[in-house]
Amino acid sequence: MRALSGELFKTVRRPSVWVCVIGLMAAAVTIGYAIPWLIETFPPAGSSRGLPPGTTLADFKVALYPANFVRQTLQNWSTLGGVFALIVGVLLQGSEYGWATIKTLYTQREGRIVMLLGKLGALAVVVLVLAVGLFAVDALASGGAAAIDGKSLEYPDFQLIVKGVGAIYLIFGFWALFGFTLATLFRQSAMAIGLGLAYALVIEVIIFTLIGSLGGDWVKEIQQWFPLANTGYLASSFGRVALRGLETGGLAPYRDATHAVSVLLAYVVAFVLICSVLLRRRDVTN
Amino acid sequence: MATTTNDAVVATHGLTKRYPNGITAVDGLDLVVRRGEVYGFLGPNGAGKTTTLRMLLGLIRPTAGTATVAGGAPGTPDSLTKVGAIVEAPAFYPYMTGYDNLRLLAIYCGVPVKRVDSALDAVELTPRARHKFSTYSMGMKQRLGIAAALLKEPEVLILDEPTNGLDPQGMADVRNLITELGKGDRTVLVSSHLLGEVEQMCTRIGVIRKGKLVAEGTIDELRGASTLMIRAQPADQAMAVLSSELGADKIKLMDGSAFSLNVDFARAAELNRRLVQAGVDVSELRESERSLTEVFMELTGTESGL
Ligand SMILES: Nc1ncnc2c1ncn2[C@@H]1O[C@H](COP(=O)(O)OP(=O)(O)OP(=O)(O)O)[C@@H](O)[C@H]1O
Ligand SMILES: [Mg+2]
């Protein structure tokens, strides 16, 4: 408890944590709603070329309305938002090495595992703020879009919203712990952020694009155990936005949400174990 | 002052640390610091002081040997609650004020937050307490480190070169503070490579060199018996007189006409009379103490300890 309140005390006072939280919210409003709304409300000339007859860009606005905000949030932000969570995870742990405060931390009172649990607790709180904040902002923005356009302000079931928050919380939690573990491993922030971002945005995609081109179901068999694939399954399990007159079914996810949740939870547990072992064993000499 | 080993607040047996790079920084160290002592841990750069203190705080694991600090194994809550420490440069969160940094530590340690103010007062940092740590000068950072060590009102203070980076006034203040803190039952283990400093503050000193304790004792014990300095002319005649009185092995000719005699100062008057009677002019006669610097150089060797 002492460890957790200490970690929270310093985390809420840390500007860079708030930069991440506010950054994600701002991105959600601008990239997720404001820009698409502007483009679809004032479509550039010739923009409906290539769309099925009778369809205009304005039809896409249905994705911006409250009925679709849970799906929309999960589709748009499971990886990009995950990057924000990853950065928070790296910062919370990596800076202790950068500032050498890890030695201050470990000479106060509690042992290393208790201090680790305190820090993970604080990280869980920040990730919850990210997840709930993102949903709140998207709910407001979708409501705003519908209100301006005079469309229905009907939101999905409360249950579905809670499930959506839970899903994004798990996804963000995975990314945050991934960052936290990389920072523990490398005992610094720079390397952890670099590798973490590279993995989230490039590495897994490239690997499976390359071996995917070889074809065969065995690729999917392997892929189903990888993080990005599973955050994808989980996000897709909320369904896609249905556009009038457009086929948007797409491919059904290879595995269902239960599989995705189990795999992601397994990663979370593995990360916590790895961190405990590393932190317990290693000498603190900086 | 207590003297039995039962009063050992810090005790190590065969404490050894070999870093992964192969350097044996601490080598079979047996150290005992007793309750109420201000123990000076003295050694040149690279002698293994910081390494020893890190082991006493549980920051690093010994390769061999054991240690107890304040009744517990290093780094356990039992031990840590009673120990306040600085290891090398104090480390704090740069984006928080000095005050908030100490409040944070008070939360971690479970001590009342109101102690923060008195700790800041003790190191005279109160006027800058509401400024961010990142804006502090080196000396202010050091002061905050000492304040942090005091926060637990600890039984044992472990301070690694606490006057590092302080100006002369700051050094004097910190030395006085340490002397003050060391009064009563509190035990202080302070490392330093500055003799003068240790001499001023400490009741007992251990000298470490290349990871081994090469001497231990009070200042007087380390310094050894005082000697008698005599300057007399002509030198050969003086030598003859002194040899017949004391035996040649007790006499050391320092330069042209100065002799250092390994005898009790009480014999000064008698020796003076003998010399004068023999027609020797005695121009100087005084008690001389070996300076601690000489002792230190002797113990740690003049060659680099690296
Ligand atoms: N993390 C480390 N890895 C490898 N070797 C180390 C490490 N830390 C210290 N050493 C080595 O151990 C020896 C003792 O270092 P230590 O820092 O304990 O000396 P010290 O007595 O505190 O010196 P100083 O007066 O310079 O602070 C040195 O040779 C040093 O190079
Ligand atoms: Mg040192």
Mean pLDDT value of segment A257-284: 96
Which of A106-120, B199-213, B219-233 is predicted least confidently?
Answer: B219-233
Q: Is the CB of B58 under 6 A from ligand 1?
A: no
* B164 and B256 part of one domain: no
Please compute Rg for chain A using Cα positions: 21
Largest CA distance in chain B: 78
Instruction: Give the number of the ligand closest to the Cα of residue B43.
Output: 1
Structure confidence at residue B39 as a pLDDT band (50, 70, 90): very high
Query: At CB < 8 Å, which residues of chain A contact B?
Result: 2-3, 5-6, 9-10, 13-15, 99-111, 283-285
Tokens of A154: 């009907």
* B75 and B163 part of one domain: yes
**Does A249 have pLDDT greater than 70?**
no
Structure confidence at residue A147 as a pLDDT band (50, 70, 90): very high
CA dist A279 to A2, A179, A190, B297, Å? 19, 15, 19, 40
Type of residue found at A271:
F
**Distance of CA B25 from the midpoint of ligand 1 (Å):** 6
Which pLDDT belongs to residue B305?
45
A242 CB-near residues (< 8 Å, 6+ apart)? A62, A248
**Buried (b) or exposed (e) across B23-47, using 16+ Cβ within 10 A?**
ebbbbebebbbbbbbbbbbbbbebb
Neighbours of ion ligand 2 (CB under 5 A): B 49-50
To the nearest whole number, what is the mean pLDDT of chain B? 88
Q: Is B32 helix (H, G, I), strand (E, B) or coil?
A: strand
Shortest distance, CA A128 to any CA of chain B (angstroms) = 23
The answer to whether B87 contacts chain A (CB < 8 Å) is yes
Atom number, ligand 1, closest to the C-alpha of residue B44: 25
**Does A77 have pLDDT greater than 50?**
yes
**Does B273 have pLDDT greater than 80?**
yes
Please report residues of B whose CB lies closer than 8 A to that of A13.
Answer: 95-96, 100
pLDDT digits 0-9 by tens, B110-124: 999 999 999 999 999
Quote the number of domains for chain B: 2
The answer to whether B119 contacts chain A (CB < 8 Å) is no
In 3D space, the residue among A75, A104, A111, A54 whose CA is nearest the CA of residue A234 turns out to be: A75
Domain-embedded: residue B158: yes
Shortest distance, CA A80 to any CA of chain B (angstroms) = 27
Name the DSSP letter for residue B88: S
Segment 176-215 of chain B within 8 Å of chain A by CB: none
* B211 and B251 part of one domain: no
User: Which comes out higher in pLDDT, residue A152 or A29?
Assistant: A29
Name the DSSP letter for residue B93: -
Type of residue found at B73:
A
Domain-embedded: residue B136: no
Check A104 against B59: CB less than 8 A apart. Answer: no
ipTM: 0.91
To the nearest whole number, what is the mean pLDDT of chain A? 91
**Does B299 have pLDDT greater than 90?**
no
The CATH number covering residue B270 comes to 3.30.70
Mean pLDDT value of segment A56-61: 78
The CATH number covering residue B158 comes to 3.40.50.300
In 3D space, the residue among B59, B95, B98 whose CA is nearest the CA of residue B79 turns out to be: B59
Domain-embedded: residue B88: no
Residue in B15, B16, B19, B300 to alter for ligand 1 test, most ligand atoms within 8 A of Cβ: B19
Please report residues of B whose CB lies closer than 8 A to that of A93.
Answer: none
Which pLDDT belongs to residue B56?
97
Length of chain B measured in residues = 306
Structure confidence at residue B268 as a pLDDT band (50, 70, 90): confident
Type of residue found at A2:
R
Which pLDDT belongs to residue B3?
45
What's the rounded Cα separation, in Å, for the pair A86 and A176? 4
Structure confidence at residue B143 as a pLDDT band (50, 70, 90): very high
**Does B281 have pLDDT greater than 70?**
yes
Domain-embedded: residue B141: no
Q: Find the helix or strand (DSSP H, E) in which B228 lies.
A: strand B227-233
Which of A124-128, A161-165, A205-209 is predicted least confidently?
Answer: A205-209
* B28 and B68 part of one domain: yes
Atom number, ligand 1, closest to the C-alpha of residue B193: 25
Q: Which domain holds residue B60?
A: 8-82+154-222
Which pLDDT belongs to residue B161?
93
* B232 and B179 part of one domain: no
Please report residues of B whose CB lies closer than 8 A to that of A283.
Answer: 54, 59-61
Q: Find the helix or strand (DSSP H, E) in which A110 lies.
A: none
Which pLDDT belongs to residue A182?
98
**Does B301 have pLDDT greater than 70?**
no
Domain-embedded: residue B248: yes
Domain boundaries of chain A, sorted by first residue = 2-43+55-281
Mean pLDDT value of segment A216-239: 89
**Does B4 have pLDDT greater than 50?**
no
Q: Whose CA is nearest to atom 27 of ligand 1?
A: B45
**Does B255 have pLDDT greater than 80?**
no
Which pLDDT belongs to residue B2?
41
Q: Is the CB of B45 under 6 A from ligand 1?
A: yes
Percent of chain B scored above 90 by pLDDT?
56
**Does B291 have pLDDT greater than 70?**
no
* B158 and B279 part of one domain: no
Which pLDDT belongs to residue B193?
86
User: Which comes out higher in pLDDT, residue A58 or A147?
Assistant: A147
Structure confidence at residue B256 as a pLDDT band (50, 70, 90): confident
Q: Is the CB of B192 under 6 A from ligand 1?
A: no
Describe the crossing of helices A257-281 and A112-149 by its angle, rounded to 10 degrees: 140
